[in-house]
Structure 1
Amino acid sequence: MNSQTIGFMPAVELAVMIRKKISPVEYMRALLARIAELEPKINAFAYVAADHAINVAKKAEAALMGGGRIGRLHGVAVTIKDHSNTKDMPTQHGSQMCVGDQPGDDAPLVERLRDEGAIVIGKTTFPEMGWTGVSRSPLTGITSNPWKLVYNAGALSAGAGASAAAGYGPLHQGTADE
Structure 2
Amino acid sequence: MDQFQESLLAWEPLLTTYGNLASIVGLILTLMGFAFTAWKIIQTRRSAEEATRIAKGAIAQISTRLFSNQIADGVRLASGLRDTCRMEQWERAIDRCERLRLLLASVVEDPNIKPDEGDYISESIDDLGLILRRLEEITRGGRATSLSPNMREVLDNLTITLGRLDSRLKNAALEIDNG
Q: How would you bin the TM-score normalised by the shorter chain?
A: 0.3 to 0.5
Q: State TM-score, norm by structure 2.
A: 0.35
Greater share of strand? 1
Q: State TM-score, norm by structure 1.
A: 0.35
Larger Rg: 2
